[in-house]
Amino acid sequence: MNPRLAKVLRSPRSAWNLMRLRWAQAQAVRDRSKIGRSGPIAEAELDRIHWSESLSNPTRFYEKCHCFYQHNLPADLRAHRDYFTVCSRGFGEDAFHVLWFLLFREIRPRSFLEIGVYRGQTISLIALLARQQNHECSITGISPFSSVGDSVSTYLKTIDYEADTLANFAHFNLPQPRLHRSLSSDESAKALIKSQPWDMVYIDGNHDYDVVAADWELCSQQVQPGGVIVLDDSGLNTTYQAPRFATKGHPGPSQLAAEIDRTRFKEILQVGHNRAFMALKP
Ligand SMILES: C[S@@+](CC[C@H](N)C(=O)[O-])C[C@H]1O[C@@H](n2cnc3c(N)ncnc32)[C@H](O)[C@@H]1O
């Protein structure tokens, strides 16, 4: 027997935790294949006119996105997700690739800002979608490119995150993005956010309420009418029931989502714990 496993099993508490982990992993695999078994989804079912279902029945809509990922999404987009999943190069869920596929096709952003880049999974997906759809989109990421975390997240200390992000872009032969190395609360980052209007923003940096609220406050002033802000990890106060391979979000972004001024922003789409808000004309 593996000596580490033997050591774990000698301690009753560790053995119990290991059993619980294995059980949770088995349940996650079971949920994944159960949802995937419902087969391909007619693409029209995810058209914009059906996005309201993502708000009224977010669990069912998430399942459809998961099935669409497994059976319908173009193979190169699935290969992109595989690349980031296999070596733990990224977080997220398969269905989020469908979220960005749908949003990009519908909104056709010319500018995209991500707060919290990690290793570049989402911004490189946006670059890939832009190339596929032959649509020009400038891509900017603001992140410390270090292991800086928050009260709910920790990150590895052993990675050069900026070099890694650029290498991941190069892997897909994508044009290099504009990367700004700082916290979103730093003056230089705030100046960058204020420097132009944005068509699409993804807020996924520090998940603590005060920081995410400050990110929202600033970005919401810079998003053009018709533009969209996607708020990560904000599903806790919704009726969405996450399958056991997915998560519902964190308190900070979820509280912020509940406080968004609905006279300025209309929620248009929810895929799991990611929620998209469109800026309305003043
Ligand atoms: C969950 S990861 C982002 C994943 C990324 N959005 C993606 O989809 O691939 C959060 C990232 O935000 C970074 N971060 C933490 N605090 C931040 C802050 N105050 N401003 C910007 N980024 C921050 C972390 O270091 C980490 O790289």
Write the CATH number for 163: 3.40.50.150
From 152, 204, 208, 271, give the residue whose CB has the most ligand 1 atoms within 8 Å, as the site to mutate: 204
Residues 66 and 33 in one domain: no
Q: What is the enclosing helix (H) or strand (E) of 58?
A: helix 58-71
Residues 124 and 1 in one domain: no
pLDDT score for 202: 98
Residues 181 and 237 in one domain: yes
User: pTM for this one?
Assistant: 0.93
Total domains in the fold of the chain = 2
Residues 75 and 32 in one domain: no
pLDDT score for 6: 59
Residues 156 and 92 in one domain: yes
Encode pLDDT of 252-261 as tens digits.
Answer: 999 999 999 9
Contacts of 30 (CB under 8 A, 6+ apart): 244
Which residue's CA is the closest to the ligand 1 atom numbered 1?
204
Residues 236 and 136 in one domain: yes
Residues 96 and 25 in one domain: no
Q: Give the Å distances, CA to CA, from 266 to 108, 151, 247.
A: 18, 29, 23
Residues 96 and 149 in one domain: yes
Q: Say if residue 1's pLDDT is above 60.
A: no
The CA-based diameter of the chain, rounded to the nearest angstrom, is 66
pLDDT score for 24: 84
Distance in angstroms (rounded) separating the CA atoms of residues 196 and 203: 17
Taking residues 9-15, report their average pLDDT. 73
Residues 219 and 262 in one domain: yes
Residues 28 and 109 in one domain: no
Mean residue pLDDT of the chain comes to 94
Going by pLDDT thresholds of 50, 70 and 90, the confidence category of residue 4 is low
Residues 144 and 17 in one domain: no
Going by pLDDT thresholds of 50, 70 and 90, the confidence category of residue 266 is very high
Closest-lying ligand 1 atom to the alpha carbon of residue 92: 8
Residue range(s) defining the domain that contains residue 9: 1-37
Sheet holding 111-115, edge to edge: 178-181, 138-143, 111-115, 198-203, 223-231, 274-279, 265-271
Residue 115 Cβ < 6 Å to ligand 1: yes
Least confident of 11-25, 34-48, 52-66, 138-152: 11-25
At residue 124's C-alpha, the angle toward residues 119 and 125, to 5°, is 120
Share of residues in the chain with pLDDT > 90 (%): 84
- Specify whether the backbone of 250 is left (phi greater than 0), alpha (psi in -120 to 50) or beta: beta
